[in-house]
Structure 1
C-alpha cells in the first residue's frame, strides 16, 4: 500500500503527491499511524512560496527528512514487537530492513514530464539540450551528466573530422602521425579544462557552485559503538581502525588481485582464440574464414561487458563490507557520500580499466601488431556500443511495456469502470525499474574517452564511432529517464566530482601511450637503426615535454570563468556588507535601549523592564 494514497483522487486539486512510500500489504494499522505521526513531528506550518522551490528540490528535502528520521524512546515498531528500535537509529532504514517499508520514490509530474519530453528527445534537432528544464525536473546531478554528455559529443567533432581523411587515405608519413598524436594530447587537455569552466557556469546559474559537502551526517544504517567527534562535538558511530585495516588487507586486497588475475586469464584465452582464427584463415582464406577473424573479438567484447557488470557488484559489496568507517558518511546511496563514492570508484576504476584496456596494451606493446590493434579496437567499440544500447534502453523499455499492460489489466479488474488516474499512475510507477544513479553512465563515457585518447592514432575512426554513439545515447538516456525508470531523487551537485579526476588521469596515461606508439612506428625506428636506447631516451624526453606542456596548459586556463569569479566575489562582498549592517543596527539598538532604560530609571526612580537582550 502507498502512504501517498491516503488522499483520494477527488482531492487531487488540493493535494499533489510528491513522494510515494510503499508499505507491505500486511502492514499493521498502528504502525502506519505511528509512522505518519513520526513524519509529521517536525513539520511546521507555512509554505515555500509559489515557484520558490522546484519539484526536484522539494523531493530532495522530503528524502532528507525521511533519511534523518530517528527513533525516540520507542522500544519497537507499533504492531511489530520483534522489530526493535534504538534511540537515534534510522526509522526508515529499520523498516526497510524488516520488509515493512518496501520502497519510496518521487512521483512523476505528468504535465511537466510531457513538456520536458517534447523539448528534450521527441524532436530530432541539431540544438542544445534543455538543461535548465532537466535540472528543474531531475536535479543538478543528472543535469550535469547530460551537460557533460552533450559537451563531450561536440568536443569530439574536431577529432572525427580529422580522423575521417586520415583513415580513408591511410597516411603513413611520420610527420602526419606525430601531428595527429600531438593534436590528440592537446585536445584531451583543452577538452577537460574547458569543461571545468562550462561546469562552473552551469553550477553558478543553478546556485550550487559554492556548495560544501565537507560535513555530512552519519550513515543512517550504520550499527556500531558511539564515539566522540572532536570536530562536531557530538557522539557519532565509530569503527576501530585496526578492524578496518584487517578487512582491507586480508579480504579486499586479495579479492581485487583475484579479479585482476581473472581479467588477465580471460585476455589470454582471447589471444588463443585469435591465433586459432588466424591459423584457420591462413589455411583456407575465403569469405567464411574472413568473417571468423572477427568472432574472437566479438566474443571477448561480450565477455568484457559481462565482467564489467560483475565487477561493479563486487566493488559495491567490498565497499559496503570492507569500509564501514567510510560508510559512516553515506546516507542511502553512493552518490550521497564523497568519501564512499571515491572508494567505490577506486575498485571499479581498477576492474574496468584492466578489463577493457589490458588486451589493447598487450597487442600494442608486447605483440606490436598494429593491424590486430586496429581490428580489436574497432570490434570492442562497435560491440560494446550495441550491447549498451540494448541493455540500457531497448530491453528495459520492452520489459516496462509488458509490466504496464499487466498493471493496467489488474487495475481494471479491481476498480472496474472507475477512473482513478492517480492510483493507476502510482501502481505503474511502483513497477518501474529503479535508476541507480549516474555512475554507470559516467563510466561508459570514461571508457569511450579512453578508447579515443589512447589509441585513436592507430584507429582514427574511433572518434567518429563515439560521436555516433553519444548522439543516440542522448536520446536513449532521455527516453529511459522519462519512461523506463522511476523518477530519481535529485542530487545537488557543483561538478562531476571524482570523475573529473578520472578523466584527467586518463589524459595523462594517454600522453605516455601515444608517445610509446610513436616510438614503435617504423618511421621513427628508421632514424635510429643502430641505437634503440637513444630512440627510447628521445621518446621519453618528448613525453616529459608534453606532460609539462599539459600541466602548464591546465594551470594557465582558470577553472572558473573571470565573470563568474567577479560575480562570486561581489556576492561575498554583499553578504559581508549585509552582515555589517545587521551587526551595526543591532549594536545601535542595544545602545539606544540601554540609554532609554537609564533615563526611565531616573524619571521614575525605579528600574524599567528591558525590552531587548543584547
Structure 2
C-alpha cells in the first residue's frame, strides 16, 4: 500500500511538472498556434501520465505476485484449499490497489482540494495541487481507464501467447533435432509447458480485474463492456490455442464452487454501485446543472442561460499575498475561478456560500437515492428470477422423494425378511420342544 502511494505521488509530481513545462512552452511559442487547438497541456499531461502510470502498474504487479506468494507461505496453511484461498485474497487486494488506485484518485480526489486564489493547496510546498478541466475530471478518468484497461488486455494476451511459445522453442532447441524418429511425439508432448496447479488462478484473477474495470467506473467509461467483450472473444481463441498446442494436458480436478472468488465478485458488485453514484455526483457536472436548473435559474425560456457565470466566483487581485502577486501589471482588478464562494465585498468573503451547500446536499441525496433504487431493483430481480428454476426445483424434490421411498421400501423388505427368519426359527424351537414332551 505504501509503495503504491509513493508511486502515485511520483506520477502526480510528474504530471504537475509536465503540465507546467508544456503550458509555458506552448505559451511562449507562437508557431504552435494550430497545435494548441487539439493538443492542449491537459491532454498531453493526461496521456503521458496515464502511459507512465500503466508501466508502473506492470512493474509493481510483478513484485506483488512474489510478495503475495511469500506471505502466504509464511502463514503455513494446513491444506491446499486454505493456501489457495489466502493467496487469492492477498493477490486480489494487491491487484485492486495497484490497478484502481490511480482511477480512484482521478475520480474522487483530483481537483477536490485545490483551495482558491491566494490560498491554494501546495504539494510539498512546491507544486500546486492538480485541478480538473473546466468541464470536470470525467474526460481524464475516461482516458486513464482506456489506457490501463486496453493496455492490460493487450499485454495479457501477448504474454499468454508468447511466454509458453518461447519456453517450448527453447526446449526443442536443446533437443538439437525435431526428427520424429530421434525425438518421439510423446517426448515432445512431455517437454511442453506444464499448466500448473495455479493455472486457473491467474485466469480467474484476470477476469475479476476486468470485471472491476467494467463495473466500478462504467458511468465514466460506457465503452468498457464492449472492450471487455472483444477481449474475451480474442482470449478464448488464445487460450484454446495455448492449451491444445503449448501446454501438457491439464489434470482434471473436482471443485465444489469457485471458492472465495464468489465473495470477491459480490463485494465488487456492491462497491460498483457506490463508485458509480459518486462518479455521477462528484466527478461529472450533472448535479450542479440540475440544481441551477430547478433552484437558481431566472430565465424561463432558456433555463440554463447564465449557468457558467453562476458557477464562477470572484476574487480581488489586491487580496493576493505579497509573494504570489503577479509581477506584470494587469488591466483588470478581479479574476474568476470555479467554485461557490462569497465575493470580496461580502462579510464572509471567500467562504462557501449557500449554493455550495445546496449542491453538496443534492449530491449526497442523489447518491443515497441511487444506491437504494439499484439495490431495490437487484433484490426484486433476485426474487423474480430465482437461482434454481421452478421445474428444476420440482425435479430435485421428486428425486428426493423417490430416494426416500426406495430407502423406505428397502428397509421394509429387510424387516419382513428378518421377521420371516425369526418366525421360522421360533417354529422349529416349538416343534423340538413338543417332540421332547
TM range (shorter): 0.5 to 0.7
Deviation at 1:555? 4.0
The answer for the alignment partner of 1:389 in structure 2 is 157
Query: Aligned to 2:251, what secondary structure does the other structure show?
Result: coil
Query: Aligned to 1:438, what secondary structure does the other structure show?
Result: helix
The answer for the alignment partner of 1:535 in structure 2 is 362
Taking structure 1 as reference, are residues 400 and 433 closer, same or farther at Cα in structure 2, changes over 3 Å only?
Answer: farther
CA distance in 1, matches of 2:84, 2:384: 30
The answer for the alignment partner of 1:463 in structure 2 is 225
Deviation at 1:266? 1.1
Q: How does 1:21-60 map to 2 (within 5 A)?
A: none
Taking structure 1 as reference, are residues 436 and 581 closer, same or farther at Cα in structure 2, changes over 3 Å only?
Answer: same
CA distance in 2, matches of 1:329, 1:417: 44
CA distance in 2, matches of 1:444, 1:500: 14
Deviation at 1:321? 1.6
The answer for the alignment partner of 1:80 in structure 2 is none
Taking structure 1 as reference, are residues 313 and 569 closer, same or farther at Cα in structure 2, changes over 3 Å only?
Answer: farther
Q: How does 1:571-582 map to 2 (within 5 A)?
A: 571-582=399-410
The answer for the alignment partner of 2:67 in structure 1 is 314
Taking structure 1 as reference, are residues 476 and 591 closer, same or farther at Cα in structure 2, changes over 3 Å only?
Answer: same
The answer for the alignment partner of 1:303 in structure 2 is 56
Q: How does 1:96-175 map to 2 (within 5 A)?
A: none
Aligned partner (choices 105, 109, 112) of residue 366 of structure 1: 109
Is residue 342–residue 498 contact of structure 1 (8 Å, CA) maintained in 2? yes
Taking structure 1 as reference, are residues 473 and 567 closer, same or farther at Cα in structure 2, changes over 3 Å only?
Answer: same
The answer for the alignment partner of 1:564 in structure 2 is 392
- In the alignment, structure 1 residue 514 sits paired with structure 2 residue 282: no
Worse-matched range after superposition: 574-583 or 305-314: 305-314
The answer for the alignment partner of 1:428 in structure 2 is 191
Output the TM-score relative to the length of structure 1.
0.49
CA distance in 1, matches of 2:428, 2:245: 72
CA distance in 2, matches of 1:488, 1:348: 23
Taking structure 1 as reference, are residues 299 and 532 closer, same or farther at Cα in structure 2, changes over 3 Å only?
Answer: same
Is residue 195–residue 250 contact of structure 2 (8 Å, CA) maintained in 1? no
Aligned partner (choices 78, 88, 92) of residue 345 of structure 1: 88
Per-residue CA distance 1:425-456 (angstroms, 9 max, x = gap): 56424x54636232211111111111121222
Deviation at 1:419? 8.2
- In the alignment, structure 1 residue 379 sits paired with structure 2 residue 126: no
Query: Aligned to 2:199, what secondary structure does the other structure show?
Result: coil
Give aligned pairs, total.
331
Query: Aligned to 2:368, what secondary structure does the other structure show?
Result: helix
Taking structure 1 as reference, are residues 547 and 518 closer, same or farther at Cα in structure 2, changes over 3 Å only?
Answer: same
The answer for the alignment partner of 1:548 in structure 2 is 376
Deviation at 1:291? 6.9
Per-residue CA distance 1:141-181 (angstroms, 9 max, x = gap): xxxxxxxxxxxxxxxxxxxxxxxxxxxxxxxxxxxxxxxxx
CA distance in 2, matches of 1:481, 1:442: 16
Aligned partner (choices 473, 476, 483) of residue 245 of structure 2: 483
The CA RMSD over aligned residues, in Å, is 2.9
Find runs of 4+ consecutive structure 1 residues off by over 6 angstroms. Answer: 287-292
CA distance in 2, matches of 1:419, 1:262: 49
Deviation at 1:498? 2.3
CA distance in 2, matches of 1:450, 1:587: 60
Is residue 46–residue 140 contact of structure 2 (8 Å, CA) maintained in 1? no
Q: More relative contact order in 1 or in 2 (CA 8 Å, sep 6+)?
A: 1
Output the TM-score relative to the length of structure 2.
0.68
Query: Aligned to 2:280, what secondary structure does the other structure show?
Result: helix
Unmatched runs of 5 consecutive residues or more in structure 1: 1-259, 331-336, 607-614
Aligned partner (choices 575, 600, 611) of residue 428 of structure 2: 600
Taking structure 1 as reference, are residues 418 and 463 closer, same or farther at Cα in structure 2, changes over 3 Å only?
Answer: closer
Deviation at 1:346? 2.2
Per-residue CA distance 1:370-408 (angstroms, 9 max, x = gap): 222111111101211111012122222232133234347
The answer for the alignment partner of 2:15 in structure 1 is 274
CA distance in 2, matches of 1:588, 1:594: 10
Which is higher, the Rg of structure 1 or of structure 2? 2
CA distance in 1, matches of 2:185, 2:91: 42
CA distance in 2, matches of 1:350, 1:303: 17
CA distance in 2, matches of 1:319, 1:419: 40
Unmatched runs of 5 consecutive residues or more in structure 2: 27-31, 112-136, 293-354
The answer for the alignment partner of 1:329 in structure 2 is 79
